[in-house]
Amino acid sequence: MLIDRRSLLLGAAATGAAALSGARADDGPMLTADGLYREPWFLQSFLNLGDDLETARSEGKRFAVMWELKGCPYCKETHLVNFADPRIADYIKANFEITQLNIIGSLKVTDIDGTEMREKELAAKYGVRYTPTFQFFGEDAAKLKTLPPKEREVARIPGYLRPDDFLGVFRYVREKGYEKGRLRDFMKNQAS
Q: pTM score, two decimals?
A: 0.85
Q: Which domain holds residue 73?
A: 5-191
SS3 140: coil
> What pLDDT was estimated at residue 23?
42
| Count of domains forming the chain | 1
Separation of alpha carbons 63 and 49, rounded Å: 9
Is 172 in contact with 92 (CB distance < 8 Å)? no
Say if residue 101 is exposed, middle or buried (CB neighbours under 10 Å; 0-12, 13-18, 19+): buried
The enclosing domain of 148 has a CATH number of 3.40.30.10
In tens, the pLDDT along 118-176 reads: 999 999 999 999 999 999 999 999 999 999 998 999 999 999 999 999 999 999 999 99
pLDDT digits (tens, 9 = 90+) for 73-85: 999 999 999 999 9
